[in-house]
Structure 1
Amino acid sequence: MDIKVGAWSHTKYADKETQWICDQVRNLVEGKTNKIYQEFKAALSRDQLVNGTNFLIKVRVGERNYIHLQVYQALPCHGGHLELSGVQGEKTQDDPLEPFNN
């Protein structure tokens, strides 16, 4: 598979790493949205290789409720820290996972 720097990957099912990222930024997301989520399960994701990695993640937060997260992860040589770049609420299972500005 060819990986193009700067291009977003296709949408794929979330894996353990994606769920781990969601778990790490959950408190930031709840603070930004001013909501406490009973459910916070990564469903789908896309990634973009830059000087680090950008992630777009669809997170299930209720029976038919989803939010979209944009998260940046620095390269390991720069500490590998995570930054929450944005949150979009009021999403559905069918909403496409597209980059956004927040």
Structure 2
Amino acid sequence: MQRVMCGGTSNEKPATPELQQLADSMKSAIEEATKKKYDVFVVKSYKIQTVAGTNYFIKIHVGGDDYVHARVFEPLPCSKDERSVHGVLENKSQHDELVYF
């Protein structure tokens, strides 16, 4: 039986300059999570999930055939919290689907 989540994710969308900017602002946190440095760091696509803020699931090309999927949480503007990385999946490929994690 498949579980349906409240506040499910959007369809996968092509990268935008704004999403690249968001990913760039979180690059050091993503590198810290993977314990790697990336010379290539290009957003290819993303999904969003609206919760008490927004989860961004971002597919990032990091060189060669390698991709990472990052989940970045951006809290509501009224909160005093800052955006943060809530997870990173490594060893992904161009064809791996972005899924909730």
2:87 aligned with 1:86:
yes
Aligned pairs for 1:3-22 within 5 A: 6-22=7-23
What TM-score comes out, normalization by structure 2 length? Answer: 0.89
Percent sequence identity over aligned pairs: 35
- Write the deviation string for residues 50-70 of structure 1: whole angstroms up to 9, x where unpaired: 110001000000121100001
Aligned pairs for 1:1-102 within 5 A: 6-79=7-80, 81-100=82-101
Offset, 1:80: 6.4
- Write the deviation string for residues 71-98 of structure 1: whole angstroms up to 9, x where unpaired: 1001111146211000011100000100
Aligned residues: 96
**3-state secondary structure, aligned to 1:87:** strand
What TM-score comes out, normalization by structure 1 length? Answer: 0.88
Moved runs in structure 1, 4+ residues, more than 3 A?
none
Unaligned ranges ≥5, structure 2: 1-5
**3-state secondary structure, aligned to 2:8:** coil
